[in-house]
Amino acid sequence: MFLNAKKDKQTILDNLDLLEQYIIEDINKIENTSTCSSSKYNEIEKKLSSITALMQKRNQKNLTVYGEIMLACEKLSDGFIDDKVTSQSDDIKINYIAKSMNTMFDKLNMGISEALEVLDQYSNQNYLNKIDAEIFRGGAFKVLFEGINALNEKIVEQVSSTYQQGLSLEKESSELTKKAKTLSDSTQHQASAIEETAAAIVEISSIFTSNSKHITSIIEVGNDVEQSSIKGLALAKDTDNAMDDIYGFTNKTFDAISQISQIAFQTNILSLNAAVEAATAGEAGKGFAVVAQEVRNLANRSASVAKEIEDLMGVLRTKVESGKKIATVMTLDYEEMIENIKKTVALIDTISSSSKEQEVGVEQINRAINSIDQATQENTVIAHDVSNISLKNYNVAKEMVEVSENIKFIGKENIQASI
């Protein structure tokens, strides 16, 4: 009896040891193999078995929940958030942990799904929506979502700026293209005008050169005319002097003719007196009367010839006086002509100097026109390059605008090209 009691006591102690080992998790399961023989210890054993069974049952549920929690955590560490703890435990604290885990997975699913959806929209250039960062009260996920929203704002700011700059660049490039084309056309017209001007300058230069040669010839002719006029003036003066001499000789001839006329008149009177004396002498004076008559006839003829000579000398005197006046006028005209020729030659010489200066000026203008023409040709090439570059800029700006127009973001409709 005593031995049975001792054995039953040992059985209970063994069961308690097993329970202790189970509690401290040295073993995972309790299996009772021996039973007490005493009714007194048998009740204790049953109670102990009941407690052990209850603990094993609860522990099994807890292990199931723990297993799901561990599996969900392992999946979470691998990036999967679509798992949940579905088992229940009799332990309120474990159930609270499971509930908290499920709430965490729900929030993670909600937040990350929304983030993925928004990021997918961003990948399709749609920046209209943001992530609701208020799903989390704080922590890394809230900071992450706020960072994504800040990135959205930064991208929208940059896209807005790019869109506005693209619109402005498109507008300015369009204006620049038009102006560059206008500049190119104007430069080409200018080049044509300069070429025509250069041709005209060359022609003018040729004309000035030809004029210079003609002016030189005119100066030479003028000098020859001046020398001829000087000789003509000398001859006119000689003619004037000769007219003076002729006029003097004419006056002397008039005096001689007057004396001849007086002699003829006196001879006529003497012959008349001789005839009267011869008539008085009678027969003896007849011969003398004949001689006296002949003398009278000669005197009359001398008077008549003297009268004719006097008339001719009068005409000659008139002609000489007229020639004298003409010679005087001719002398004055020659002097005036020589003075005018000198002035003309001086004026032509001045014109020649001016023409040479103008020729030099035209040559300088021609060189300047050639330089301008060369610069204009370079400007034409540059204007053409500017036109091509502005057209490329316009195409780039247009492409920027087209790309920006495909991007959706808030405030896009209010963006206009800056002026």
38 burial via Cβ count (<10 Å: 0-12, 13-18, 19+): middle
CB 199 within 8 A of CB 385: no
pLDDT at 417: 64
For 273-282, write each residue's pLDDT tens digit: 777 776 777 6
For every residue of 186-246, which 3-state class applies, written as one string?
A: HHHHHHHHHHHHHHHHHHHHHHHHHHHHHHHHHHHHHHHHHHHHHHHHHHHHHHHHHHHHH
Residue 313 identity? M
Q: Outline which parts of the chain fall under CATH 1.20.120.
A: 2-124
pLDDT at 96: 92
Secondary structure (DSSP) of 273-297: HHHHHHHHHGGGGHHHHHHHHHHHH
Q: Hey, is 416 helix, strand or coil?
A: coil
Phi/psi for 126 (5° steps) reads: -115, 110
Q: Outline which parts of the chain fall under CATH 1.10.287.950.
A: 185-396
Phi/psi for 127 (5° steps) reads: -110, 30
CATH T-level assignment (fold) for domain 2-124: Four Helix Bundle (Hemerythrin (Met), subunit A) (1.20.120)
Q: How many residues does the chain have?
A: 419
pTM flag (> 0.75): no
For 223-245, write each residue's pLDDT tens digit: 777 677 787 767 767 777 776 77
CA distance 57 to 89: 10
For 6-60, write each residue's pLDDT tens digit: 666 676 677 677 667 766 766 666 666 556 555 566 677 677 777 777 776 777 7
CATH of domain 185-396: 1.10.287.950
CA distance 155 to 360: 69
CA distance 83 to 298: 186
* pLDDT at position 407 over 80: no
